[in-house]
Amino acid sequence: MVTNVKSLSKTLKKRNYQGLTVNTAILEDETHCSGIAATLNRGLRNVFS
């Protein structure tokens, strides 16, 4: 799954869509369940910063 995320991130950055900023984080210490809250938290901080 990590490989897929890295590949998607690389592809999106390479396409250089106008107005799109790609931030990728691999959450090493999170489980499938705890990752949801961490992802939501990071996503909201990126959108509103």
Residue 44 lies in a domain: yes
Residue 6 lies in a domain: no
Residue 2 lies in a domain: no
Residue 3 lies in a domain: no
Residue 23 lies in a domain: yes
Question: What residues contact residue 26 under an 8 Å CB cut-off, 6+ apart?
Answer: 2, 5, 6
Residue 8 lies in a domain: no
Claim: this prediction has a pTM higher than 0.75: no
Residue 5 lies in a domain: no
Residue 42 lies in a domain: yes
Expressed as residue numbers, the domain containing 41 is 15-49
DSSP for 14-34, please give it: HHT-TT--------TT--TTH
Domains identified in the chain, total number: 1
pLDDT in tens, 1-49: 789 999 999 999 999 999 999 999 999 999 989 999 999 999 999 899 8
